[in-house]
Structure 1
Amino acid sequence: MRRLASVDTAPVPRREPSPEERGEAPGARLWHITLSVAGAEAPLAEVRRGLQQLAHDHPFLLTSRYATDHAEIRYWEEARDLHDAAAVALRLWGEHRASAQLPPWEIVGLEVIDRETYHQRVAEGYGPPPATPVGVHPF
């Protein structure tokens, strides 16, 4: 009787696709951005409308949460490194304040993490959950 070689049935670790395989520009990486802004109270309807306009103008925005005196915007940014991703994120609110009629709030927080760190945090249960539902929502 012929013996068959044993087959290792351990799961093969899943490899993250390279930036090129994900259709990203060479040398660029994806960064998860959380931008927090705050300031004087503004009418809730105006805050919502401004964030919806910002999301319409820039469909890369995943989700926004808002109240009368603060908001949080989460999205993915494609950039060469953390410095470039943070620089773009820090300009977002000010550059679109007039066009989206956003409140004159200031940036009070910024978190920039790479794709691998984001997924690791979510898998371990202590990071921000995936942005569902996507869109603009009250806190």
Structure 2
Amino acid sequence: MVRRALTSVGPGDGDGGGGGGDEQDHDSRLWHVTLSVSGKPAPLSDVRRGLEQLAHDHPFLLTSRYADDHAEIRYWEEARDLHDAAAVALRLWGEHRSSAQLPPWEIVGLEVIDRATYHQRVAEGYGPPPAHPVGVHPY
């Protein structure tokens, strides 16, 4: 068995899904990620500056909303499956905390949905509307 970082069993592995789909099992997909963080209050200007730097460092960042004690970050992640997209999302805040000078907040929420589910929710009037305008905004 070959082990690789951030991989998991795909839906075609062992479910009788028919035919030499090994290449297909490794195709990446787009996942809509909503990451919520919170903690002790920090100056709004510092929070904004940190989120703007995070947006610069993470090119797929769509939008973020913030207050002095919490923030929500929404973006698209390209990953093989939900497990991979969630793993990247769970590392995002911590890995960029120093470089973007983000507050020492903790992750308090995570939603990862596939592109079709995202668009279905928007079309039905459920869930967040498309992230417009793109960027960093106060609540």
**TM-score range normalised by the length of the shorter chain:** 0.7 to 0.9
- State the AA in 2 paired with 1:46: D
What does residue 5 of structure 1 align with? none
Q: Which ranges of 4 or more aligned residues in structure 1 deviate by more than 6 Å?
A: none
Residues in 2 aligned to 1:109 and 1:58: alpha-carbon distance in whole angstroms: 19
- In the superposition, the TM-score normalised over structure 1's length comes to 0.81
Structure 1 position 58, deviation (Å)? 1.4
What does residue 46 of structure 1 align with? 46
What does residue 102 of structure 2 align with? 102
How many residues are aligned here? 114
Residues in 2 aligned to 1:29 and 1:114: alpha-carbon distance in whole angstroms: 8
The higher radius of gyration belongs to 1
What does residue 86 of structure 1 align with? 86
Structure 1 position 127, deviation (Å)? 1.5
Q: CA RMSD in A?
A: 0.7
Q: List per-residue Cα deviations over 1:117-139 (Å, max 9, x = no partner).
A: 00000000012100000000000
- In the superposition, the TM-score normalised over structure 2's length comes to 0.81
Residues in 1 aligned to 2:39 and 2:127: alpha-carbon distance in whole angstroms: 26
Aligned to 2:40, the other structure's residue is in SS state coil
What does residue 138 of structure 2 align with? 138
Mark the runs of 5 or more structure 1 residues left unpaired by the alignment.
1-25
Residues in 1 aligned to 2:81 and 2:95: alpha-carbon distance in whole angstroms: 21
**Identity between Structure 1 and Structure 2 (%):** 87
Mark the runs of 5 or more structure 2 residues left unpaired by the alignment.
1-25
Aligned to 1:116, the other structure's residue is in SS state helix
